[in-house]
Chains A and B, each alone.
Chain A
Amino acid sequence: NAGVMQNPRHLVRRRGQEARLRCSPMKGHSHVYWYRQLPEEGLKFMVYLQKENIIDESGMPKERFSAEFPKEGPSILRIQQVVRGDSAAYFCASSPGQSNSPLHFGNGTRLTVT
């Protein structure tokens, strides 16, 4: 009964490179959310997706960031041309989609930009 799986756990990129973060939701969950967390801070919403659709991307920067959740395979958060300010922990959460159901989080990907 696997939970939300994120990989890689740690990712180091040089400035200007691309970062790809993967998230496999819990079995039976069709809704995926991406959050970002800086040290000693709360989680900031980035994007909410269902299979093949972006539902809400109001928290995602307009440039360099994109997300997808294809019909087959994991959800991908992609950061192009990374900068040092992108260094953070990125968490994925999933839910079955019913109202008032909690989000289940993965253990995150810690991105370090050097």
Chain B
Amino acid sequence: GESVGLHLPTLSVQEGDNSIINCAYSNSASDYFIWYKQESGKGPQFIIDIRSNMDKRQGQRVTVLLNKTVKHLSLQIAATQPGDSAVYFCAERYSGNTPLVFGKGTRLSVIA
């Protein structure tokens, strides 16, 4: 079965609010995690990544948090905009150059 899963399949947020998308992973040996955004008809677009030796990483309007104790990953989007509407996937890598393992995704809908 999947080793990466998401708590919420859909998420609706008001424009301007913060969004939090959660992801659970089961492989405690995973050392690298990535969040991707996928818009309709397009390929996944890299958002932010984090290594297992970190617990937080910030980008522009996005923050990824890693809690290795409970094997949980989250993506926080500040001041959500309509352009943020998409499906968001977390992915993990077990080690080195092994392929990324993707979760099923969360659809984020931003209400104007």
Interface residues in chain A, defined as those with a beta carbon under 8 Å from any beta carbon in chain B: 4, 6, 31, 33, 35, 41-45, 48, 55-56, 59, 91, 93, 95, 97, 99-100, 102-108
Set B41, B42, B99: member contacting A33, Cβ < 8 A: B99
Q: Is the CB of B49 within 8 A of A107?
A: no
Q: Is the CB of B100 within 8 A of A45?
A: yes
For the residues of A in contact with B, the DSSP-based class is: strand
Q: How many residues of B contact A (CB 8 A)?
A: 25
For the residues of B in contact with A, the DSSP-based class is: loop
Q: Is the CB of B32 within 8 A of A106?
A: no
Contacts of A44 in B (CB 8 A): 102
Interface residues of B in 45-100 (CB under 8 A from A): 45-46, 49, 51, 89, 93, 96-100
**6 pairs of A and B residues whose beta carbons are closest in the complex:** A105-B43, A42-B102, A45-B99, A43-B102, A42-B104, A107-B43
| Chain B min CB distance to A88 (Å) | 14
